[in-house]
């Protein structure tokens, strides 16, 4: 290799080191720049769940039967059923007289939530976003007043759920 070739190689090597070193120095001493921004969205609405239930048999005190509950979730997020069904107001129909319906209704009000054992959801079932699910569980009828014999009893109820991760 000639003198000029060696010298050219050395100069090229020194130039590469200087250029590379300069780039590294620039990266090391470069300016840090911070930023800021905003994000916004509407929070989802909370819509009440609805449910319908049916019992598999005629009722009398001590009767054990299955209750089938269909729960509708109109929300855009899933929920998990967490609490027991709590009976509320009762409606009575099919009595021979208005007085018979009223007597049964009044007796049910006096009995209150003792008509059934607490209905607890088995396994805390999930209800998907904007979906429905059916839950079956057993129920025992407790204090059904005798004045309600032969009548149609409709119980309104409440229950609880919690929003779960999607």
pLDDT at 166 over 80: no
- Asked whether the beta carbons of 125 and 81 are under 8 A apart, the reply is yes
Torsion angle, alpha carbons of 112, 52, 62, 66, to 10: -160
What is the spatial distance between Cα 47 and Cα 95, in angstroms, rounded to a whole number? 36
What is the pLDDT, as a whole number, of residue 145?
93
3-state helix, strand, coil in the chain (%, to 5): 30, 30, 40
The pLDDT of residue 162 is 94
Question: Residue 15: is its pLDDT beyond 60?
Answer: no
pTM equals 0.70
| Mean pLDDT score across all residues of the chain | 84
């Amino acid at each position: 290799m000639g003198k000029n070739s060696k010298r050219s190689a050395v100069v090229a090597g020194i130039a590469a080191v200087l250029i590379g070193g300069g780039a590294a120095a620039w990266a090391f001493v470069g300016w840090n720049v911070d930023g800021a921004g905003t994000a916004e969205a509407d929070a989802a609405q909370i819509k009440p769940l609805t449910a319908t239930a049916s019992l598999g048999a005629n009722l009398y005190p001590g009767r054990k039967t299955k209750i089938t509950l269909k729960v509708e979730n109109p929300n855009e997020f899933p929920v998990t059923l967490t609490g027991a069904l709590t009976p509320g107001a009762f409606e009575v129909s099919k009595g021979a007289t208005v007085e018979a319906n009223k007597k049964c209704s009044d007796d049910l009000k006096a009995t209150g939530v003792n008509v059934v054992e607490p209905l607890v959801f088995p396994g805390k079932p999930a209800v998907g976003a904007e979906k429905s699910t059916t839950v079956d569980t057993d129920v025992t009828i407790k204090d059904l007043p005798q004045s309600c014999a032969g009548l149609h009893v409709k119980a309104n109820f409440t229950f609880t759920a919690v929003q779960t991760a999607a």
